Amino acid sequence: MKHIARKRFGQHFLSDPAIIDAIVRAIDPRPGDAMVEIGPGLAALTQPLVERLGALTVIELDRDLAARLRAHPQLRVIESDVLKVDFAQVQPAQPATKLRVVGNLPYNISTPILFHLLPFAGLVQDQHFMLQKEVIDRMVATPSTSDYSRLSVMLQWRYAMENVLFVPPEAFDPPPKVDSAVVRMLPRDHFEALDVDAFSQLVQTAFSQRRKLLRHSLGKWLDARGFAGHFDVQRRAEEVPVGEYISLAQALQGGA
């Protein structure tokens, strides 16, 4: 029976063989890799991946699709909302092996998924996700551009990222109303250890009034915390490089 895409799950199924092949080549799966696929859907990406890997763990919320996937002998199926999955418990066959995470992420919850994965970055070798192109534009944006945002700062702190492939709407069934792309995310080996929640609050405050100077938002937030250090709040949030946000978070974390 044909599966009907469910709007509440944000389902758009990849159907273009050339695009699927290009994505698999970008991911470059190798036998024995500990790979986890988020939202395998109708297995368009799953099948070519598992053929190269030998075994694959998939996370699927739709119970009908999960039931279909369980019939595949090479798949380990986790039927769950990905936002509830503890990736520290998604153990590879070799515990010392890092996870490779891939997926065509539901566009309606793509940003929450990216933030959910952030604390697990130390367990991950790489991440390849298909997302709405405008989201990836924000992920990889540089300071003093309109796309530079909270998402840019939070993710660039922990990952090196690149947009590796453009995916047009007609590559899906049903076609979404937006362009898509594939992003490669490599957790940084060297990064500043920060409290993720505290850093997120700082950056969110900074970008809460992005058209105004930071003294109206982050400046007041810093004053309320008795911050005695120096940070130039006569700028807009989008003018501050990632490194300066990190340094500010470190200063606050150290009680400066």
Binding residues for S-adenosyl-L-methionine: 12, 14, 39, 60, 81, 104
What type of residue is 251?
A
Q: Using DSSP, state whether 79 is helix, strand or coil.
A: strand
DSSP E strand boundaries for the chain: 13-14, 34-38, 56-60, 75-79, 99-104, 124-132, 159-167, 172-173, 180-187
Contacts 24+ apart (CB under 8 A), 118-121: 118/154, 118/155, 118/158, 118/196, 119/196, 120/87, 120/88, 121/158, 121/159, 121/187
| Residue 177: CB atoms within 10 Å | 9
Rounded Cα gap, residues 74 and 160, in angstroms: 31
**DSSP conformation letters of 138-170:** HHTPPTTSTT--HHHHHHHHHEEEEEEEEE-GG
Binding residues: 12, 14, 39, 60, 81, 104
Residue type, 52: R
Q: How many residues appear in the chain?
A: 256
Distant-in-sequence, close-in-space partners of 44: CB < 8 Å, separation ≥ 6: 13, 14, 15, 20
Burial of 180: CB neighbours in 10 Å, binned 0-12, 13-18, 19+: buried
- Gyration radius of the chain's alpha carbons: 20
Tokens coding 94: 């070799």
